[in-house]
Amino acid sequence: MKEYENTILYGLRAVKEAIHSGKEFDRVFVQKGLKGEIFGELRKLLEDNKIPYQFVPTEKLNRITDNRSHQGIVAFISHILYHRLEDVLPGVFEDGKTPLILVLDRITDVRNFGAICRTAECAGVQAIVIPAQGAAQVNGDAIKASAGALHNIPICREPNLKLALDYLKESGCQLVSVTEKADDYYPSANYSGPTALILGSEEDGISYEYIKRSDKRVKIPMAGKIESLNVGVAAGIVLFEAVKQRMKV
């Protein structure tokens, strides 16, 4: 098998056994309308283990498996071990470090995601928080784009991003949204204390429900005709402003 080659499982019993054996899953596709006792058991396993799954047309499953018998289910084995934010953040404080957390709202481009992870690791980010649904697949392309950083930084896949943000605030982290809708420029924020930076998709930006939870909204000044930067570039600019401020402290 080539390095970082995707590992795909299909078949109800095969996926069920993989869950029992403790495999980590990136995502699971289920055929729309799938029913039956075995699928009922499998669905409960997916939900009990907080494994994200979505219903898709049969045609999509056929394309993935080259029309082999998939029994209505295809699962992608994860290349990384996912973490829980509740397990990671207390350890950062206990180690005497000042948290710098990155929250990514619906960043779906795999290479963008990988590049952001590489930048975040270089900037000393202690965890990256992503939603269980609507995030880039952590596959071989993502790991390559991250230059291996995805093996060195905890990725916290949260079923409810709103609750994750609330947890960060309750734990003493300020929430800073990087959005072109802000009035203040990014150097105006103080990143020297516990901070969680939020970045959103290039198409829609950060969801309003997350922006309104923020303690600070900042933007990057633009001098050209194009109104926005690639989200990976934006992440690098603001993260290394945080690094610069923390080096001065």
Determine the straight-line distance between the first and last CA of the chain, rounded to whole angstroms. Answer: 48
For the chain, list the domains and their CATH numbers. Answer: 7-77 (3.30.1330.30), 85-248 (3.40.1280.10)
CA 161/CA 19 separation, integer angstroms = 24
From the list 131, 47, 122, 48, the residue with the least C-alpha distance to 85 is 131
Share of the chain above pLDDT 90, in %: 63
Instruction: Say what the pLDDT of residue 143 is.
Output: 87
Calculate helix-pair angle for 231-248, 110-122, nearest 10 degrees.
Answer: 10
Instruction: Say what the pLDDT of residue 168 is.
Output: 98
Position 93 confidence tier, pLDDT thresholds 50, 70, 90: very high
Higher-confidence residue: 195 or 52? Answer: 195
Q: Check pLDDT > 60 for residue 5.
A: no
Amino acid identity, position 66: D
> CA 71: distance to chain centroid?
29
Average pLDDT, rounded, for the chain: 91
| Average pLDDT value for residue range 165-192 | 96
Instruction: Say what the pLDDT of residue 249 is.
Output: 62
Residue with tokens 């202690």: 126
**pTM of the model as a whole:** 0.86
Position 6 confidence tier, pLDDT thresholds 50, 70, 90: low
| Average pLDDT value for residue range 215-226 | 92
| Average pLDDT value for residue range 207-232 | 91
Tens-digit pLDDT profile for residues 137-172: 888 888 889 998 999 999 999 989 999 999 999 999
